[in-house]
Structure 1
């Protein structure tokens, strides 16, 4: 099957606008992982992403009549900028439909390249539906971000360059996966020239549409898609991309948010460049693979696919990085509420670096302390510390993998709820980060139930997150759930979450 794409890739016209990006050795990562780690620097493209390749190649394959009518696309970022630059180069009218949640920096970047931007809907699907309507009404050509042979061929030039730039076959190549266009193009070319090289797709744990398709043997739609790696937030892998990759890819690895944050830091330390979450996805998968396999002395390459991120997001990324590197742990410890107890607890921690310490007086019996501290990665350091604390009589709980603790509780430690809140239920809610979105949520709740707790923090992303406590009697829980469904924001019931119970839940009365 890949043979049919080889000629397409060799003939692809991308270098009128795209540049041949370097393959750089990541010296620091290579030493740390005891392998030769290489980075394919697609973040150095004029639009800071590989998407320019596929968009321009597709434009070159259109007829004069199609170009005269113009092109349209739906995108929240990298594809939009790539198509806008391609259209500007070829003097073709371009309309890009972007969700209203798209950060202003990306909207401005598309407009600056001469494309007309229409803001429509809160999600990619709503934007895509409006783009399809424009195609029908105006006779314009829709340029798909990944599920198109000409787009795939354009992205495949990344694989062609890797083969040309590296002197000998690599042991493995790690490719980020959204809809699968980049993976399809790279796998088709690399497997044809270097059949012995493992080609591994990497997806976010909460947007693993290719992994789902491979498990089922057919394309399927994810019921929910995580948005942290917005460049890979796709609910269903493409039809053509799946046809290409299903027999070529060696495996698919999934990684979490903290692992991506750690990989962003790794790329920065080796290159002084800041990748976006999707751009660091492949390196996170490479590190996961090395740890799982115990690989040593191998040539491993990760594609750094993009660097279009908001500056405001760096605060959140930085906070999660050390946990992603397994260099920081978050624990909850109960200590006696008496003079000298803090000093005794710090002595029990030894000479560890404390990264965070949150506490507020609750009662005369005991204190609940929220602690962030440095640990040695990849070993038993944290487990040994927990055992040591328990042996000294402390009740300690590991919250390192608790999302509510990391997203909300660490900023809210301030005392338990007073008595009389037996009916409090707690929900984590995700909503589009745009004017009026929070008001819609609060208006939707109405005045029937009392809000007893509320926390929101802007992370510079397309979606915001709320932790809210609401007094809902057991007899009214079904009615409240129905209201949440009508508001139509993603939500999780966190009433039984350990971090909430430890720090914010109702304190039992003596």
Structure 2
């Protein structure tokens, strides 16, 4: 296993090569979650991900011959960009194999950095198999995303920075895909503070590291909003480190991750991808499940990446507004007479809501022929405001209720 000295050497080598990202206290999230929440903004790296750290630390050790032949890696996007970025700076040819489902923004950014991109397969493991074929065929050097000592040491520099900025942390919460990030952070943290708790986070769709630790076999799913940690094959090196140094691994749902992304955008004004929000999702999940392990603790959370497709982000914001009651759908029954619709919409306006969509339903309804159903999508102040609008409509004689989400 790597040692603290390996991570400290990586830290020295990374000076001037990556951003020493902020690690700041979130007052609002702390109040909401009942813990002292500290956020490590790795989404502020040049490529918007922590992966730059390990990629540089590994590539700085390449021989002149290896540099001339070029490098290859397999990645769902962030490691790809880290390798492509440093390969461009070092003038090393780079080939990146990415799953077909990789968000467009990650593919475009990797190409923009000068790498040759090969899209192959549905999952990270499909991309890995193709990358290994190209290693043999083209004599390239593999820069593994996580199962490599230099990669792990590079990622571990995050742990050194977090504890340097706040030595009194009780817990670190770190997303897990293949395990390189948490292996490095746990190695650094446990060497400096043996009493600190390190908690890993995986999605329910891809719980493969948690299953491997527990001696279980799982099939898992093929898709998750957190594609950056959608890894089915845990690393050999990382598995052993996690067994030795990580205290627990928790699983979060897609809903938890969606909620966390929107909260970080709304509260911290920070854009994160699904994997980047996994740490906060773990605390939201624990709060909903009456799991008090984080309560009253000083918790450091790694926001590991910010490469999210803008279209997906827009959809998540809209869904978040629905959950908060800021965007609501109501169904109102009105008489099919001139002026009835105007009267109803005026009541909604008087209640302070904005109507964004209107849909009349005459044919597909069980109402009498003289009546019509109207579906309205409203911008409101929240759930209580929606109830006030419904009560106002009912008082005026309009049968109304909330529509299905």
Short-chain TM bin: 0.7 to 0.9
Give, in whole Å, the separation in 1 of the partners of 2:48 and 2:228.
12
Match of 1:264 among 252, 261, 264: 261
1:60/1:331 Cα in 2 relative to 1: closer, same or farther (>3 Å)?
same
1:373/1:54 Cα in 2 relative to 1: closer, same or farther (>3 Å)?
same
Contact 1:225–1:234, Cα closer than 8 Å, also in 2: no
Give, in whole Å, the separation in 2 of the partners of 1:159 and 1:343.
61
- Which residue matches 2:277? 280
TM-score (norm 2): 0.79
- Which residue matches 2:236? 239
1:57/1:87 Cα in 2 relative to 1: closer, same or farther (>3 Å)?
same
- Which residue matches 2:222? 225
Contact 1:14–1:56, Cα closer than 8 Å, also in 2: yes
- Which residue matches 1:254? 252
Q: CA deviation at 1:372?
A: 7.4
Count of aligned pairs: 390
Contact 1:152–1:184, Cα closer than 8 Å, also in 2: yes
- Which residue matches 1:176? 175
Q: CA deviation at 1:361?
A: 2.1
Contact 1:67–1:92, Cα closer than 8 Å, also in 2: yes
TM-score (norm 1): 0.64
Q: CA deviation at 1:177?
A: 1.9
Secondary structure of the residue aligned to 1:210 is: helix
Q: Tell me which of the two structures has the higher relative contact order, counting C-alpha pairs closer than 8 angstroms and 6 or more residues apart.
A: 2
- Which residue matches 1:207? 206
Give, in whole Å, the separation in 2 of the partners of 1:221 and 1:191.
32
Secondary structure of the residue aligned to 1:203 is: strand
C-alpha deviations, 1:159-180, integer Å up to 9, x for none? 1111111131x12222122222
C-alpha deviations, 1:261-295, integer Å up to 9, x for none? 33223323444331222222212222333453455
Structure 2 residues not aligned, in runs of 5+: 391-398
Give, in whole Å, the separation in 1 of the partners of 2:322 and 2:172.
25
Secondary structure of the residue aligned to 1:280 is: helix
Structure 1 residues not aligned, in runs of 5+: 387-393, 401-510
1:232/1:133 Cα in 2 relative to 1: closer, same or farther (>3 Å)?
same
Q: CA deviation at 1:395?
A: 11
Q: CA deviation at 1:46?
A: 1.5
Aligned CA-pair RMSD: 4.0
C-alpha deviations, 1:25-80, integer Å up to 9, x for none? 12322333343221101011121100011111121334444334321112231111
Contact 2:173–2:200, Cα closer than 8 Å, also in 1: yes
- Which residue matches 1:136? 136
- Which residue matches 2:93? 93
1:301 lines up with 2:300 in the alignment: yes
- Which residue matches 2:185? 186
Alignment of 1:267-416 (within 5 A): 267-291=264-288, 292-293=290-291, 296-323=295-322, 327=325, 359-363=359-363, 364-365=367-368, 367=373, 399=404
